[in-house]
Amino acid sequence: MSLATADAPTAQKSTAARRPIVAIALFTLLALLPVAVSPGLPAHWMTLVTRAMIFGIAALSLDLILGVGGLVSFGHAAFVGIGAYVTGIMITEGRTEALLILPVVLAVCALFGVVTGYVSLRTRGVTFIMITLAFGQMVYFLAQALSAYGGDDGLTLYERSTVLGFDPFKNRIGFFYAVLGVLLACYLLVSVIVASRFGRVLRAARENATRVSVTGFHVSRIRLAAYVISGMIAGLSGFLLANQTEFVSPAYMSWPRSGELIFMVVLGGVGSLHGAIIGALAFLFAEDVLAGWTEHWKVIFGPMIVLFVLFTRGGIVGLMRKLGVAHHD
């Protein structure tokens, strides 16, 4: 046995041991943010980071099928919108209990994922992208047609969800930690999925679906399961978004919103789970800073994101790897 071969397991263990460091540091910094806001940081950062974490959940869900499964969905925001609308409609109808709303949100997103995924996953490449875009737009126009719930003007919520009669979302810091807890739970769930045999098969199918099929795995079913799980997690972000903004709009599920989710994943680093969260944070912070400078911030923001992704080759996490700070998930 060569020295290189003998040292390989040791090197792999060393790398594996260092993989969670960035994620641990990220969640630790997020947990400490409320403490830092009082002495010096701007107060609106709490709201901004809370919103970024909500979109981080959606970006994380997209990274499961995009970064791991190689499926580019241009209608992923539809799940976010469905989660928000189910939450908004149930609150409007007097059903504010989160333990009642969440199962309905997850069930509706799962049903939508099964139906649309079954059709979409029969295609590949650009056709898959266009079909997911079409399904997303169908839901978008359906939301606009819901005149009983605001239609194109959106739906204003006059109260938030409760948990066993309590209102944990009323307090800004309490809501912040609730979102952080959900984000951490989703991150751990997706990490377990990716590390499991299911995740390894999903990743292998991205490289060579035919070879995976020959070994006895049903690639279509595995991709459909990943698509549905991804959609359910995105729906959860919609539930949180509706509670934060106390407003639901068809714009939540428009194709530009789906494009923004893809940008967040690419900006952070495709295939890196904590990269999706970092990408969401960076995206919304850059948006906030530029919007404070000029009303034409999008003219600067778009090219800036494109140039960063092109020159870093792997997004923020790719840049961190070059600097020796991060490692592959």
Which of the four pLDDT bands, split at 50, 70 and 90, describes residue 306? confident
Examine residue 4 and state whether it is found in any structural domain, yes or no: no
Q: Is the pLDDT of residue 329 over 60?
A: no
Is the alpha carbon torsion for 148, 152, 156, 162 positive or negative? positive
Tokens 């407003």 correspond to what residue? 247
pLDDT tens by residue, 24-43: 888 999 998 888 776 656 66
Angle, in degrees to the nearest 10, between helices 77-92 and 125-145: 20
Q: Are 205 and 212 in contact (CB under 8 A)?
A: yes
pLDDT tens by residue, 218-252: 889 999 999 999 999 999 999 999 999 899 999 89
Examine residue 262 and state whether it is found in any structural domain, yes or no: no
The Cα-based distances of 263 to 36, 52, 120, 189, 277 in angstroms read 29, 13, 21, 23, 12
Report the C-alpha gap between 242 and 157 in whole angstroms.
8
pLDDT value, residue 180: 95
Domain total for the chain?
1
pLDDT value, residue 9: 44
Q: Is the pLDDT of residue 254 over 70?
A: yes
Examine residue 142 and state whether it is found in any structural domain, yes or no: yes
Report the C-alpha gap between 118 and 133 in whole angstroms.
15
- Which residues, other chains included, contact 88 with Cβ-Cβ below 8 Å and sequence gap of 6+? 149, 155, 157, 242, 248
Examine residue 212 and state whether it is found in any structural domain, yes or no: yes
Q: Is the pLDDT of residue 7 over 70?
A: no
Q: Is the pLDDT of residue 4 over 90?
A: no
Which of the four pLDDT bands, split at 50, 70 and 90, describes residue 22? confident
Domain that holds residue 220: 43-254
Which of the four pLDDT bands, split at 50, 70 and 90, describes residue 317? confident
- Which residues, other chains included, contact 141 with Cβ-Cβ below 8 Å and sequence gap of 6+? 250
Please name the residue ranges forming H helices in the chain. 3-18, 20-37, 44-63, 77-92, 98-120, 125-145, 172-195, 197-207, 209-214, 219-245, 255-268, 273-293, 297-312, 315-322
pLDDT tens by residue, 175-224: 999 999 999 999 999 999 999 999 999 999 888 888 888 888 888 999 99
Q: What is the DSSP letter of 155?
A: E
Q: What is the DSSP string of 226-288?
A: HHHHHHHHHHHHHHHHHHHHSEE-GGGGSHHHHHHHHHHHHHH-TT-HHHHHHHHHHHHHHHH
pLDDT value, residue 38: 64
Examine residue 160 and state whether it is found in any structural domain, yes or no: yes
Q: What is the pTM of this model?
A: 0.89
pLDDT value, residue 15: 39
Examine residue 265 and state whether it is found in any structural domain, yes or no: no
The two beta strands, 155-156 and 247-248, are antiparallel
Amino acid, res. 143: A
